[in-house]
Amino acid sequence: MTPTKAAAARKPARKKPAAENGAKTRASRTPRRDAVADATAAADAAIEEVVAAKERMRGVAREALGISGRDTAPPLREGLALSGVGWYPLVALSTLVVVDELQGYAFFVLGPEISSTLGIGKGALAGLSTLKILAITLATLPTAAYIQQRGRRGIISIVNAFAWSALTLLTGLVSGAWGLAGVLLADGATTGTVRATHTPLLMDTHAPSVRVRVLSFYRGADAFGNIAAPLAVALLSAVFGFTWRGVFIILGVVSLLAAIVSVRLRDPGVGRWDTARVREVVGGATAGPEQVRLGFFEVCRRLLIIPTVKRILAASAVLGMFIVPLNTFFFFFLEQRWGLGPGGRGVFFAVLPVFAIGAFAVFGKRGEALFQRDPAAFVRASSVVLGVGAILLPLSVYSPVLLGLVVLFGVSFACFGLLGIGLTMTLLSIVPAPMRPHAAALAGIFTAAVGGFGGILLLGGVESTLGSTAAIGFLVVPGVISALVLRTAAHTVNSDFDRMLDELVEEEELSVLRSRGAHLPLLSCRGIDFAYGRLQVLFDVDFTVDAGEMVALLGTNGAGKSTLLKVISGIGLPSQGTVRMDGADITYLDAERRVTRGITQIPGGRAVFGPMTVADNLRVFGYSYGRRRDAIESGIDESFAAFPRLAERRDQLASTLSGGEQQMLGLSKALIVKPRLLLIDELSLGLAPKIVGELLEMVRRINEGGTAIVLVEQSVNIALSAVEHAYFMEKGEMRFDGRAAELLGRDDLLRSVFLEGATKAVLT
Amino acid sequence: MAFKIDETITITAPKARDTVRLPVTIRWDDGNSAANLRVDPRDPNAEYYGVFVDRAPLGPNRRIESLIGKGDSCRRTPGCPDAAFLARIKVFFTAKPELTLEFLTDLRPSRRGGTKDPHEATIVRMRGDRRVGEAAFLVNYFVDRT
């Protein structure tokens, strides 16, 4: 049983501890605690309302995003009309991708002429081509970072088109290797920009019900470019007698015309057909909770923990292993086995896209219907397509007749084209709209860099010892493996799609609640799953802390308490679930950004810098969290006032302090940083009762100052003496959520802690 | 910069993608004139052909000295680059529209790739110690290694 299945099996036994323990009530000792308890109960109710809405709205949201469960798709014309944009964006972007093919192919074919004109060796030219691939690959990420939630993809596409037109013109005017390198780098960057811009723009421009066909059309245009490019180069060069310079100048002018065609492209807004539609079905709130924008690397990190994304990127890498080095090896093969010269090879590669275009035309509507019926079936079909392509391509090189080679290779080429649509559609559908450029960029990197360079190394080794036929034949191994890997994504794609929907619904529900003036808790963790590698340690954990509240998080050793703190402080990312602060989603925010939002953790053990003095430790706390010098000095004074023993040892190395003094120093961090939420892990570990009492008194004082506190303890007596509300964890699950006094009456839960303590006492 | 293909020189042997045996003679027709040519890199008016075998030619207007590598001992040898050095780096100068190559390095990527050994030669125009213009004439052929 997998960890997730195990968790699912265990959920009913654990689910809803509030019901198990009666309604969550919080006893009070002071008026302030009364207010806190009331607010927390209201916040809990708000969050429960969101959870309930999320489960209720999932089906509606799926339908809104095109997963109707029915095996039908509306006619393309109807879908485009529904999208309200007509044919123009699709035709404009498709035109641009055609002219991009022209420039790339021209450089590829005219390489020998460029080499002999400029006196650049083949090795140097190959190096420049690699540089261009590198530029394509690297440009995707900064582009994704730039356009993240800016909604300027239309204008970027237009500027990009004019830039690459100018670069194509300039290619025809270069006079040496350095000039060529500069032009190719810049041209690679523009192509990379296309990768991160066009498909997310197509997804946001068109309604979900036509997206597979839109992508098929776009890919078909790309394939058409593959036919047009060799014909254009052959026509200009062989028929009209233009040198490579002339060819690039003319292609530059053609690109310029295409760029002019694209000037009316506009960005429809990120998530126009996703976030907006979910907002409509949820209720259409206008004022949402504060949105936390993830940084670039936070987005990438968040994407890389989505199971389906991981599988798709693995398949993309293998696809790159096929596509990128294939041209080189297949050129050698065609020459050696079939004696095809440049012209014959050009015709061969110009014929292949015909197969792809035919496949796209047949696949479009069927693929659309399949995706709308069940994304898992769509992924399974994609894996079959990959498997067929991966088998036919290596098989083609053993064909005894050229026609057999063309047909087998053509069908294989078409399969990879369909796979490209399948991977793009699936990948961009299961990630939130603002993260689509990042996802497209990552797919490009995995295809070109990981797969492409890996393939060149792998096939280069096989080719040098066994020849080009064997090298191409060898591709069946990674191909079939990746088809199997992709097939596993069918098991995860629906849950990942639902997770994306849940996040959208939750966001919108919170907007609605906020607009109604509902109180939201300071911290709210919902449905948290966390795993160290394949070992899942947290299972569907819910945890709430309100502003100014102090709660205890108890449990046996290894129950997952410290792991939950890691998830809250951002040191660990959950594989499922959300962490919200004041209603804003901070689940994937970096730890340092959480600190600036007011979350600080004092880790278990001795949380000090041993080789530094006490005073320096305190200063470092302040500097690390970006506090002003005067605020730090005042915090240090406050710490010394609170812990006079630290003042006495201000110039002493922290490593020479006793355990209790080190914990005091660690706790002083809170006095300097002044967080809104303080997470304290194992405050009492290995300390004498008197010292623990002093530390607890300080914790209470910090709490009285308005800081919410989560006290993680193995010692039940210590924790429950300090708090009104407690959580109890066991084996990664939240087993109790209620009044501390009630927990004391739960022998079934506490026995394990006491027994563990007793065992330790006997052993020691 | 040339935007139309220069067709003044036509390589007549070997034909593109022909398979030949060693020694191989490369021949070409020069539509302009081949009458008053002479190889003399020291005379800025002397015109001749440069044949670059299995390597990139000189860049346009580049000097012959630029063919010498940075650490090459030829730099410290009086009279270098001479014919022996140039032959070593597969560069040949001739006033006649032909050149015979006695030996060629086997360039097959692997012995399993067949008996056809791929080669190429690029012919450019030279004047004095420099390449003239951008025109380059390239032929690809195979040497039979059976």
Residues A366-400: tens digit of each pLDDT: 898 899 889 999 999 999 999 999 899 888 888 88
pLDDT of A18 strictly over 50: no
| A503, A355: one domain | yes
What tokens does A719 get? 């924790």
Radius of gyration of chain B (CA): 16
Beta carbons of B2 and A241 less than 8 Å apart: no
Domain hosting residue A744, numbered range: 3-53+521-598+675-763
Q: How many domains does chain A have?
A: 3
Q: Is A468 on the interface with B (CB under 8 A)?
A: yes
pLDDT of A495 strictly over 80: yes
What tokens does A107 get? 């450089």
In this prediction, residue A591 has a pLDDT band, given cuts at 50, 70 and 90, of confident
pLDDT of B126 strictly over 90: yes
Q: At what angle do helices A476-515 and A275-282 cross, to 10 degrees?
A: 40
* Residue A339 CB coordination number (10 Å): 12
Question: Strand order in A535-545's β-sheet?
Answer: A535-545, A523-532, A576-581, A584-585
Which one, of A122, A311, A89, A312, lies nearest residue A201 by Cα?
A89
| pLDDT at residue A273 in the model | 83
Beta carbons of B109 and A463 less than 8 Å apart: yes
The DSSP output letter for A764 is -
| A146, A202: one domain | yes
| A122, A158: one domain | yes
pLDDT of A277 strictly over 80: no
Beta carbons of B59 and A119 less than 8 Å apart: yes
Q: Is residue A641 part of a domain?
A: no
| pLDDT at residue A151 in the model | 67
Alpha-carbon torsion angle A639, A640, A646, A652, nearest 10:
100
Q: Is A332 on the interface with B (CB under 8 A)?
A: yes
Pairing label, strands A535-545, A523-532: antiparallel
Pairing label, strands A550-555, A576-581: unpaired
What is the separation, in whole angstroms, between the first and last Cα of chain B? 43
Q: Is B138 helix (H, G, I), strand (E, B) or coil?
A: strand
| A317, A263: one domain | no
Beta carbons of B55 and A121 less than 8 Å apart: yes
In this prediction, residue A28 has a pLDDT band, given cuts at 50, 70 and 90, of very low
| pLDDT at residue A13 in the model | 33
A552 by Cβ neighbours in 10 Å (0-12 / 13-18 / 19+) ranks as buried
User: What does the alpha-carbon distance between residue A566 and residue A557 come to, in Å, rounded to a whole number?
Assistant: 16
What is the separation, in whole angstroms, between the first and last Cα of chain A? 37
Domain of A703, CATH number, reads 3.40.50.300
Q: Give the nearest partner residue to A336 out of B113, B124, B136, using CB atoms.
A: B113
Q: Give the nearest partner residue to A176 out of B6, B59, B131, using CB atoms.
A: B59
Closest-CA residue of chain B to A117: B134
- DSSP labels, B4-60: B---SEEEEESPTT-EE-SSEEEEEEESS--SS----TTSTT-EEEEEEESS--PPT
Closest-CA residue of chain A to B66: A119
Closest-CA residue of chain A to B123: A116
Residues of A in contact with B58 (CB under 8 A): 119
Closest-CA residue of chain A to B125: A117
| pLDDT at residue A499 in the model | 84
Q: Is residue A633 part of a domain?
A: no
| pLDDT at residue A77 in the model | 84
Of A518, A541, A575, which residue is a domain's last?
A518
What tokens does A79 get? 């879908």
pLDDT of B86 strictly over 80: yes
Q: Is A35 on the interface with B (CB under 8 A)?
A: no
| A558, A700: one domain | yes
| pLDDT at residue A9 in the model | 36
**Model pLDDT for residues A516-559, shown as the tens digit of each residue:** 777 788 999 988 999 998 889 999 999 999 988 999 998 888 88
Closest-CA residue of chain A to B111: A467
In this prediction, residue B34 has a pLDDT band, given cuts at 50, 70 and 90, of low
In this prediction, residue A104 has a pLDDT band, given cuts at 50, 70 and 90, of confident
> Cα distance from B15 to chain A (closest Cα, Å)?
12
> Cα distance from B66 to chain A (closest Cα, Å)?
11
| pLDDT at residue A221 in the model | 93
- Kindly report which listed range (A202-216, A673-687, A739-753) carries the lowest average pLDDT score: A739-753
Which distant-in-sequence residues (6+ apart) come within 8 Å of A177 by Cβ? Answer: A118, A120, A124, A128
What tokens does A630 get? 């005067």
Residues of A in contact with B113 (CB under 8 A): 332, 336, 467-468
Report which of residues B44 and A463 the model is more confident about. Answer: B44
Mean pLDDT within A331-335: 74
Residues of A in contact with B141 (CB under 8 A): none
Beta carbons of A336 and B114 less than 8 Å apart: yes
> Cα distance from B102 to chain A (closest Cα, Å)?
23
Q: Is A197 on the interface with B (CB under 8 A)?
A: no
Of A493, A518, A543, which residue is a domain's last?
A518
User: What does the alpha-carbon distance between residue B105 and residue B102 come to, in Å, rounded to a whole number?
Assistant: 10
| A466, A420: one domain | yes
Q: Is residue A66 part of a domain?
A: no
| pLDDT at residue B111 in the model | 60
Residues of B in contact with A470 (CB under 8 A): 112
Q: Is residue A748 part of a domain?
A: yes
Q: Is residue A740 part of a domain?
A: yes
Which distant-in-sequence residues (6+ apart) come within 8 Å of A417 by Cβ? Answer: A219, A223, A356, A359, A360
Residues of B in contact with A467 (CB under 8 A): 110, 112-113
| A487, A575: one domain | no
State the complex-level ipTM: 0.86
Beta carbons of A118 and B16 less than 8 Å apart: no
User: What does the alpha-carbon distance between residue A577 and residue A526 come to, in Å, rounded to a whole number?
Assistant: 6
Q: Give the nearest partner residue to A468 out of B113, B120, B134, using CB atoms.
A: B113
Residues of A in contact with B138 (CB under 8 A): 112-113, 116
| A93, A183: one domain | yes
| pLDDT at residue A418 in the model | 92
Beta carbons of A332 and B109 less than 8 Å apart: yes
Q: Is A462 on the interface with B (CB under 8 A)?
A: no
Domain of A168, CATH number, reads 1.20.1250.20
Beta carbons of B3 and A241 less than 8 Å apart: no
A46, A317, A615, A709, B49 from A519: Cα distances, Å: 7, 47, 40, 19, 87
Q: Is residue A605 part of a domain?
A: no
User: What does the alpha-carbon distance between residue A138 and residue A147 come to, in Å, rounded to a whole number?
Assistant: 15
Q: What is the largest CA-CA distance in chain A?
A: 96
Q: What is the mean pLDDT of chain B?
A: 86
pLDDT of A163 strictly over 60: yes
Tell me the backbone φ, ψ of residue A108, rounded to 5 degrees: -65, -45
| A299, A425: one domain | yes
| A201, A330: one domain | no
User: What does the alpha-carbon distance between residue A193 and residue A156 come to, in Å, rounded to a whole number?
Assistant: 8
Mean pLDDT within B15-32: 88
| Residue among B3, B8, B140 with most chain A CBs within 10 A, to mutate | B3
Amino acid at A500: M
| pLDDT at residue A698 in the model | 86
Alpha-carbon torsion angle A724, A730, A734, A736, nearest 10:
-40
Q: Is A465 on the interface with B (CB under 8 A)?
A: yes
| pLDDT at residue A27 in the model | 37
| pLDDT at residue A150 in the model | 67
Q: Is A172 on the interface with B (CB under 8 A)?
A: yes
Could you tell me where the DSSP H helices lie in A3-74?
A: 3-14, 17-20, 31-64
Domains and CATH numbers, chain B: 9-144 (2.60.40.10)
Residues of A in contact with B120 (CB under 8 A): 112
Q: Which residues of B have a CB under 8 Å from any CB of A?
A: 1-7, 16-17, 55-60, 62, 109-110, 112-114, 116, 118, 120, 122, 124, 131, 134, 136, 138, 140
Pairing label, strands A725-730, A550-555: parallel
Q: Give the nearest partner residue to A119 out of B4, B56, B116, using CB atoms.
A: B56
- Kindly report which listed range (A424-428, A739-743, A747-751) carries the lowest average pLDDT score: A747-751
Mean pLDDT within B14-37: 84
Q: Is residue A390 part of a domain?
A: yes
Report which of residues A709 and A682 the model is more confident about. Answer: A709
* Residue A337 CB coordination number (10 Å): 18
Q: Is residue A424 part of a domain?
A: yes
| A320, A464: one domain | yes
Q: Is A336 on the interface with B (CB under 8 A)?
A: yes
Residues of A in contact with B109 (CB under 8 A): 332, 463-464, 468
Q: Is A474 on the interface with B (CB under 8 A)?
A: no
| Residue among B110, B138, B145 with most chain A CBs within 10 A, to mutate | B110
Q: Give the nearest partner residue to B3 out of A120, A246, A467, using CB atoms.
A: A246
Q: Give the nearest partner residue to A467 out of B2, B3, B112, using CB atoms.
A: B112
Which one, of A705, A245, A78, lies nearest residue B135 by Cα?
A245
| A163, A202: one domain | yes
Q: What is the mean pLDDT of chain A?
A: 81
The answer to whether residues A620 and A612 touch, using CB atoms and an 8 Å cutoff, is: yes
Beta carbons of B17 and A341 less than 8 Å apart: yes
pLDDT of A664 strictly over 70: yes
Residues of B in contact with A343 (CB under 8 A): none
Beta carbons of B55 and A463 less than 8 Å apart: no
Beta carbons of A468 and B109 less than 8 Å apart: yes
User: What does the alpha-carbon distance between residue A379 and residue A359 come to, in Å, rounded to a whole number?
Assistant: 17
Mean pLDDT within A709-717: 83
pLDDT of B53 strictly over 90: yes
Residues of B in contact with A116 (CB under 8 A): 56-57, 122, 124, 136, 138
Residues of B in contact with A252 (CB under 8 A): none
- DSSP labels, A538-583: EEEEEEEE-TT-EEEEEE-TTSSHHHHHHHHHTSS--SEEEEEETT
Chain A / chain B CB contacts < 8 angstroms:
78
In this prediction, residue B5 has a pLDDT band, given cuts at 50, 70 and 90, of confident
Reported as type and span, the H/E element at residue B99 is strand B98-101
**Model pLDDT for residues A223-265, shown as the tens digit of each residue:** 998 888 888 888 888 888 899 999 999 999 999 999 999 999 9
